[in-house]
Amino acid sequence: MRPVAYAGEPGAFAEDAVLVAFGEVARTAVGSFRDVFEAVAEGRAGGGVLPIENLLNGTVREVYDLLLEHDLAVTGEVVVPVRLCLAALPGQSIDNIGRVYSHIQALGQAEAFLRSRPWATLTTYNTAGAGKLIRAAGERGAAAVLSPRAAALFGLEILADDIQGAADNRTRFLVVAPAGLDGAMASPAGPSGSARRTTLAFAVRNEPGALLRALRAFADRAVNLSKLESRPSRTAAWEYVFWADLDADAADPPCAAALDELRGVSTMVRVFGSYPRAAENAPA
């Protein structure tokens, strides 16, 4: 069985997402979100797990851009609680710390705590990678913002716990796999009887009423858009691609009819997949 790819190091929240989605499966850590897509596209991994949205910091926009670049399907989602701590090499106190490392998303999620002291904050490619960096360099006077599990894996001592900006902080992850792949690894099961979600992207002409006509296709059929946002198209100046999550399966008759109408009023429509909505009480 090919492994599931995720970006970061062992102990990263993305690895937690793999475990929530699939249990104790073979998994491989790679260096970046792009590396996850390439590992799946080239067949080195059977699927990939990527963060798409955090409760506090919002969308991970790079993942949307990479979805458009690659011919992969979205086959599932999981929601992972995000607890953050400040950890450093053993024997240090919080007063000894001058530098704090972490991924930019985690630094944003712990912003209120980090503003409480005049620390220099430095970005790394991953939360667990920040802990690995400090341990490998033996860097004193520095701390990492990461999960308690990652702190333990790298032998770091927790100086402050639960530093995230909200007690219920959590991140939603998407599962991607080659289009048309059928298998348990590619499609994590949702809760029994769970509702379905569909992720798609579309573009419209830059003219009055174009977006309204696109959205009316769903409103007229009572298909709810739980999320809608825009990203630069990267093909023309000041042109945009709209990303939407629908609270429906693309095969449901009202949703299928809405998508047909959308294609008639859009310049591009791409449906990435329909999948069970994740449970919100995923284990830590």
Show which residues are catalytic: 171, 173
Residue 192 has, within 13 A of its CA and on its CB side, a CA count of 0
The sign one gets for the Cα dihedral 65, 56, 215, 200 is: positive
The rounded distance, in Å, linking the Cα atoms of 196 and 246 is: 8
The rounded distance, in Å, linking the Cα atoms of 120 and 100 is: 6
Cβ-proximal residues to 250 (8 Å cutoff; 6+ apart), any chain: 198, 200, 256, 259, 271, 273, 274
The rounded distance, in Å, linking the Cα atoms of 173 and 53 is: 7
**Residue 274 tokens, joined:** 């329909």
The rounded distance, in Å, linking the Cα atoms of 168 and 79 is: 11
Q: In the sheet where 225-232 sits, what is the strand order?
A: 225-232, 240-246, 196-203, 268-276
The rounded distance, in Å, linking the Cα atoms of 126 and 107 is: 11
Residue with tokens 């990461």: 146
Residue 214 has, within 13 A of its CA and on its CB side, a CA count of 24
Short-list 218, 264, 221, CA closest to 244? 218
